[in-house]
Amino acid sequence: MTEPSVSDLLVILRHGPHGSSWLREGLDAALVAAAFGRQVTLLFMGEGVTALLRDQQAGPLGQKGSSATLEMLAMYDIETLLVEEAALTRFGLTEADLMLPVRPLSAEAISAQPGDHRLVLTF
């Protein structure tokens, strides 16, 4: 019997692109880990799903959106993007509203994610 594969790092992003630096810091941590050869999975939960919206505008006080950073994920081989299904529903979003391909997860599937990763960071 083979054991399930365990990824290196799960970065959970719970904050939107504006209002705080949490999202930006989480994405930066993911990019740094990937640059050092770690296999990174991103999980967007709650307001974090709004970071994936197409055509983001600058926020209050000129805060930039997350689009530019998200567009770099493929260059760093960060390809596993998970989103909380319930958050998509809560914000009235579908996968078509998002700028990158994602895999929606149920609450049950989300609860299994930390066990599938060696390290979990939450932003």
- Residue 89: CATH number of its domain: 3.40.1260.10
Residue 99, domain member (yes or no): yes
Residue 69, domain member (yes or no): yes
Q: What is the pTM of this model?
A: 0.88
**Count of domains in the chain?**
1
Residue 1, domain member (yes or no): no
Q: For position 84, what pLDDT does the model report?
A: 98
Residue 101, domain member (yes or no): yes
Closest CA to 24 of 98, 123, 122, 97: 123
Q: For position 68, what pLDDT does the model report?
A: 85
Residue 78, domain member (yes or no): yes
Mean pLDDT over the full length of the chain: 89
* CA gap 95, 62 in Å, rounded: 27
Give the chain's residues under pLDDT 70. 1-6, 57-65
**3-class DSSP state of 47:** helix
Residue 106, domain member (yes or no): yes
Residue 62, domain member (yes or no): yes
* CA gap 66, 17 in Å, rounded: 6
Q: For position 3, what pLDDT does the model report?
A: 43
> 56: domain range?
7-122
